[in-house]
Amino acid sequence: MQTADIHRRWLTFFGDRGHTVVPSASLVSEDPTLLFTVAGMVPFVPYLTGLVPAPYPRATSVQKCIRTLDIEEVGKTPRHGTFFQMNGNFSFGDYFKEQAIEYAWELLTSSESDGGLGFQEKDLWVTVYKDDDEAINFWKKTAGLPDERIQRLDMDTNYWSTGQPGPAGPCSEIFFDRGPAYGQDGGPATDDDRYVEIWNLVFMQYLRGEGSGKNFEILGELPKKNIDTGMGMERVAFLKQGVENMYETDQVRPVLDRAAEISGRRYGADHDDDVRMRVIADHVRSSLMLMSDGVTPSNEGRGYILRRLMRRTIRSMRLLGVDAPSFAELFPASRDAMKHSYPEVETEYSRIERLALSEEEAFLRTLASGTSILDLAVAKTKTEGAKELASDTAFLLHDTFGFPIDLTLEMAEEAGLTVNRSAFDELMLQQRTMAKADAKSKKTHLADLSVYGEFRAAGETVFTGYEYLDTETTILGLIVDGASVTSASAGQIAEVILAETSLYAESGGQEADAGTIVGNGYELEVLDVQRPVKGLTSHKVQVTSGEVSVGAAATTIVDPEWRRGATQAHSATHLIHAAVRQVLGQEAHQSGSYNKAGYMRLDFSWNQALSPATRSEIEEIANLKVRENLEVDTRIMNLDQAKSLGAMALFGEKYGNTVRVVEIGGPWSLELCAGTHVSRSSEIGLINLVSETSVGSANRRIESLVGYEAFQDLAAERAIVNELTSNLKTPRDQLSTRIADLLSSLKAAEKRIAQFEAAALSERVPALVATAHTVGAVSLVAENVGTVASSDELRSLVQSVRERLGSVAAVVALAADVAGKPAVIVATNDAARQTGAKAGALAKLAAGVLGGGGGGKDDIAQGGGTDVSAIGAALAAIGSAVAS
């Protein structure tokens, strides 16, 4: 049974039983505490917790998920994968425990010809929470399972909660017995690979209180009991396809086979090679799916996870003996395996491939540079007579250069060295602990959304700002320091929940509106506007006068100048995006944006800098569209209709079934967008493209000033040009030539000055040589040469004096004032070094006297400091050291 068939059977089964079929949400989670969608229930959490009223009583989905916590286990076990699909059915206060059990058993054990999955009842085991007698009775009634195939387990495996006060409840899990060839008897309680968990049913029926671990109080039953179940697609697939693990299923095995073919290794011949091939197959698929949802490789957040997956893939190919690029062959294999379930991987493949190949090329260069750094560290370690490469070197290579630790271990071993892996792991642990603490602090700050629940239950906040700048409304709630209050007074910072608002909440790359909220006896300055939960707008305000209370009448007032600038900038973003695609092609796809009054920023997928001519062309096209005074049309329609018209759904944005389409100049610019816009393009005024830079290996960023701010910037440049034309007495059209001539003359003058200075220094050599005097076993020159332009000049002078002293044992120490700071350079010749004189030690000694630091090689070294007046003492210290 192919994975796409399991996908279809699941949705058909539950769709036929009254469940709303919900498409998979993006792998990029809307939850601010999560980087990714890590479980099938994540998109439904607001409904399961009651924070947002569920739009349907029951639902089903096949949800794309990413988890990387167990990334080191990938390839080693039959079931660990970073990308997986979770089949879920959900009830929001509709059916409960008995019917959830009936559905699960029916789908699992019905014959394939009847639309079921065709599992044999004798192969299935069930676990329940130890005190859930109700679930046991339902299992016996529904499935007729004997007592020995229903196992009671403790809270750590069979009880669910968020870890915070809120919904909680027991779980029941269904396992498949693979048979005695895979392990010992005894059922799932043995925690053996023989028993594979395929389905988990969560019965949310209680309200839990404060506490941690197993120590929390059950406060009572929920008024509405919910069902959240999840069946692991990959686990069912490998069981139904009769293969040994998830890596050998139809959606993963093609990549594994391609890796084997490229490397010339045979899958099944060597355990270590098998693990590497499985890692490659898993990570390529995960990378493909992440990029199809708009994630791009970077050094932070989601992009860092993607980059890590891709680099582990390259590393595993290298361990298979493949040093050449391989993504051009691996990714198409994954695309062809996944496109039947997710057509977007094919339609977006040209963009995905460009990102993948660019990242591979960049990391292969990183491997080359990391290898050079490692070679130097190995040589230094050997020179010092050590046998162990420093753990902080290994960590630096891993953390800064992305150099995998296993590659460091392998190369160190080849050089006859070891690496203190435990010390390296301790450094990694410290980094993870810091990261987790940071994440926890952010989660604590953002996670408690329950305060918004009662307000969201009253309905959605109505946004009137498309039509009006002022709106009369009612204050539904006030929140101060995370708690709901009845009033707030002058000087306080509060959140205001309104029935309606004309103030735009930050979203879609557009910054929140500025403005005020006023009412009888109070005035509030709006600091920010956000949507903490779907459908609810919260206004962060400072009470500037009076006292505001819940239930009071209010008027939202948008700052008209701010809104005008914001609409200009947002519409300009659409024009620049369309111009970029017109010039570069349809593959130059927006990957992010930000706009506010007077400014816009557009990130787009492209892997090379734009030439000045290309930048000018994009800017000119956008401004010509402004001049054409194109109509800006907005329409509301369903998502499928919008896509059929060719409207662009932008990566990183979340869309419901009903969307807003913004059209500028017909199909030339047609995008899904909830932002505010001008009514005609001429209202934008002017677009001034001020920069174009890199924001990643395959992403570029354009920044532009818009409207009055664009005019101000050009006016400032005009003033500079006028000043230059006046001072240089040159017409504007000849200004660049005139400046180029001046620069050329300046460089020539600087070259002549350097020649004169070098000659003047050379003339000082005989006098310095004449100061040589015998100190101990060497001839010493130790002089303050006054002020020199640079340390390089001082070094050249020292070397010339040393050369003129010939073969006699000589130490030359010259000090000078370089840009207001003391510098000293010491040089020795072979004969002096044989007496024990070392330039590095002498320079370090002198630098200490100068109030700084220094050192270097035995033959020449440099030091510096802060106290020019101490130069005499520093040279005297060198003389004393030489004498001793």
- What are the tokens at 74? 């990938």
Distance of alpha carbon 222 from the chain centroid: 37
What H or E segment, with its residue span, contains residue 319? helix 301-319
Q: What's this model's pTM, rounded to 2 decimal places?
A: 0.73
For residue 392, the model assigns a pLDDT of 80
DSSP element (H, E) containing 591: strand 590-596
Angle at 157 between CA 152 and CA 158, to 5 degrees: 55
CA triplet 609, 610, 616: central angle to 5 degrees? 155
Handedness of CA 280, 282, 285, 286 (dihedral sign): negative
DSSP letters for 786-845: EEES-HHHHHHHHHHHHHHTTTS-EEEEEEEEETTEEEEEEEE-HHHHHTT--HHHHHHH
839-849 helix and 871-883 helix, angle to the nearest 10 degrees: 140
Angle subtended by helix axes 735-770 and 791-804, to nearest 10? 40
284 to 33, 127, 256, 290, 341: CA distances (angstroms): 26, 34, 10, 10, 16
Angstrom distance (rounded) from CA 475 to CA 499: 7
Closest CA to 187 of 214, 215, 144, 152: 152
3-class state of residue 629 by DSSP: coil
Cα separations in angstroms, 799 against 104, 167, 259: 85, 78, 58
In angstroms, the Cα distances linking 126 to 104, 140, 157 are 11, 11, 13
Q: Does domain 772-883 have CATH number 3.90.1660.10?
A: no
SS3 string, 468-529, reads CCEEEEEEEEEEECCEEECEEECCCEEEEEECEECCCCCECCECCCCEEEEECCEEEEEEEE
574 is known to lie in a ligand binding site: yes
The domain 450-558: what is its CATH number?
A: 2.40.30.130
Domain 3-241 CATH class label: alpha beta
Helix (H, G, I), strand (E, B) or coil at 434: helix
How wide is the angle at C-alpha 727 spanned by C-alphas 724 and 733, nearest 5°?
A: 45
Query: Looking at residues 385-389, what average pLDDT do you find?
Result: 85
Name residues whose C-beta falls within 8 Å of residue 836's C-beta, 6 or more positions apart in sequence.
none
The two domains 450-558 and 772-883 share their CATH topology (first three levels equal): no
Strands laid side by side in the 773-775 sheet: 773-775, 778-788, 810-818, 821-828, 860-864, 854-856
Mean pLDDT of 874-882: 91
Distances (CA, A) of 667 to 344, 456, 580, 642, 664: 22, 37, 15, 12, 7
Which pLDDT score is estimated for 446? 32
Judge whether residue 441 has pLDDT over 60: no
Question: Which residues are 838's β-sheet partners?
Answer: none
CATH among 2.40.40.20, 3.30.56.10, 3.40.50.300, 3.30.980.10 for 567-713: 3.30.980.10
Residue 432 has pLDDT above 70, yes or no: no
What number of other Cβ atoms are within 10 A of residue 715's Cβ? 9
Q: Is the pLDDT at 262 greater than 70, yes or no? A: yes
Rounded CA separation 523/515 (Å):
11
| C-alpha distances in Å from residue 707, one per residue of 59, 469, 579, 632, 660 | 47, 20, 18, 17, 25
Spatial distance between the Cα atoms of 187 and 177, rounded to a whole number of angstroms: 8
Question: Which pair of tokens denotes residue 270?
Answer: 């060597």
Please give the structure tokens belonging to residue 808: 């006699």
The pLDDT of residue 629: 95
pLDDT tens column, 755-810? 887 787 778 889 888 999 998 889 999 999 888 888 888 898 999 999 989 889 99
**Tell me, what's the pLDDT at 412?**
81
Contacts of 304 (CB under 8 A, 6+ apart): 298
- Whether 570 has a binding-site annotation, put simply, is yes
| Other beta carbons less than 10 A from residue 209's beta carbon | 13
Tokens of 876: 């005297």
Averaged pLDDT, 599-622: 93
* Band of pLDDT at residue 586, cut at 50, 70 and 90: confident
Residue 430's SS3 state is helix
Lowest mean pLDDT among 14-28, 416-430, 573-587, 684-698: 416-430
The domain ranges of the chain are: 3-241, 251-368, 386-444, 450-558, 567-713, 772-883
**In percent, how much of the chain has pLDDT > 70?**
96
In this prediction, residue 401 carries a pLDDT of 63
The C-alpha angle with vertex 328 and arms to 327 and 331, in degrees rounded to 5, equals 65
How much is the pLDDT for 684? Answer: 96
Q: Is the pLDDT of residue 658 over 90?
A: no
How far is it, in rounded angstroms, from Cα 234 to Cα 400? 35
Amino acid at 562: W
131 half-sphere exposure, CB direction, 13 A CA radius: 4
- Per-residue pLDDT tens for 805-844? 988 999 999 999 998 899 999 999 999 999 989 999 999 9
271 CB burial (10 A radius; 0-12, 13-18, 19+): exposed
In this predicted structure, what is the pLDDT of residue 124?
95
pLDDT > 90 in the chain, percent: 59
Grade residue 548 by pLDDT with cuts at 50, 70 and 90.
very high
> In the predicted model, is pLDDT for residue 147 greater than 60?
yes
Which among 85, 84, 88, 58 has a CA at the least distance from the CA of 70? 84
- Is residue 437 scored above 90 in pLDDT? no
Digit-coded pLDDT (tens) for 66-95: 998 878 888 887 778 899 999 999 999 999
Please report, for residues 302, 387, 421, 445, the alpha-carbon distance to residue 432 in angstroms, rounded to integers and kept in the order given: 16, 28, 16, 20
Which tokens in the block code for residue 446? Answer: 């953002």
In this predicted structure, the answer to whether residue 443 has a pLDDT above a threshold of 60 is no
Q: How far is Cα 103 from Cα 779, in angstroms, rounded to an integer? A: 97
Q: Does the pLDDT at position 453 exceed 90?
A: no
Stretch 522-533: mean pLDDT: 94
Q: How far apart are CA 285 and CA 279, in angstroms?
A: 10
The pLDDT score that the predictor gives to residue 402 is 64
> What distance in Å separates the CA atoms of residue 693 and residue 615, rounded to the nearest whole number?
11
Q: How far is CA 808 from CA 32, 762, 804, 805, 828, in A?
A: 73, 21, 10, 7, 11
Can you tell me the mean pLDDT for 102-131? Answer: 95
The CA-CA-CA angle for residues 183, 186, 192, to 5°, reads 40
Distance CA 136, CA 114 (A): 27
Give how far the C-alpha of residue 385 lies from the chain's centroid of Cα atoms, to the nearest Å. Answer: 41
Q: Alpha-carbon distance 852 to 850, whole Å?
A: 6
Phi and psi, residue 512, nearest 5°: -65, 155
Beta strands in 628-777 (DSSP E): 632-638, 658-664, 669-672, 687-694, 699-706, 773-775
The residue whose two tokens read 């910072």 is 493
For residue 409, is it left (φ>0), alpha (ψ between -120 and 50) or beta?
A: alpha
CA dihedral sign of residues 696, 700, 706, 710: positive
The three-state secondary structure class of 143 is helix
Count of CB atoms within 10 A of residue 842's CB? 29
Q: What is the mean pLDDT of residues 131-135?
A: 93
What's the token pair of residue 118? 């065709």
Tokens of 297: 């490789």
With cut-offs at 50, 70 and 90, classify the pLDDT of residue 533: confident
